[in-house]
């Protein structure tokens, strides 16, 4: 998938954050904005439809805090891996 340079730079920053999220009690709040930013950026790319849907689901789970704290870092890492599949093409 071909992305604009500005979009590629931003999604790479988000990917790096998600692959190595900070250890923090406010991780839900920090991660929520990154995931929402990724969704809004990827919505412009039809090839990323499946990943966008998965990130929207993750954003909803972050908003409702329905994701257990002990599974949060792993869920964010998995989201980063999904985004990596787009940027490594």
pLDDT at 82: 94
- Rounded to whole angstroms, the maximal C-alpha distance in the chain is 36
Provide the residue ranges of all domains of the chain, joining segments of one domain with +. 5-87
| pLDDT tens-digit series, residues 28-72 | 888 999 999 999 999 999 999 999 999 999 999 999 988 888 889
**Cα→Cα distances 31→1, 44, 59, 69, 71, Å:** 25, 21, 9, 12, 13
Alpha-carbon distance of 67 to 3, in angstroms, equals 31
pLDDT at 1: 72
Under 8 Å between Cβ of 47 and 38 = no
């Amino acid at each position: 998938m071909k992305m604009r340079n500005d979009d590629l730079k931003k999604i790479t920053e988000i990917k790096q954050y998600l692959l190595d999220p900070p250890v923090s009690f406010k991780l839900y709040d920090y991660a929520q904005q990154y995931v929402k930013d990724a969704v809004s950026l990827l919505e412009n790319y039809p090839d990323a439809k499946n990943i966008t849907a998965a990130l929207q689901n993750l954003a909803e789970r972050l908003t409702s805090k329905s994701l257990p704290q002990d599974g949060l870092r792993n869920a964010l890492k998995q989201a980063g891996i999904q985004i990596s599949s787009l940027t490594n093409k």
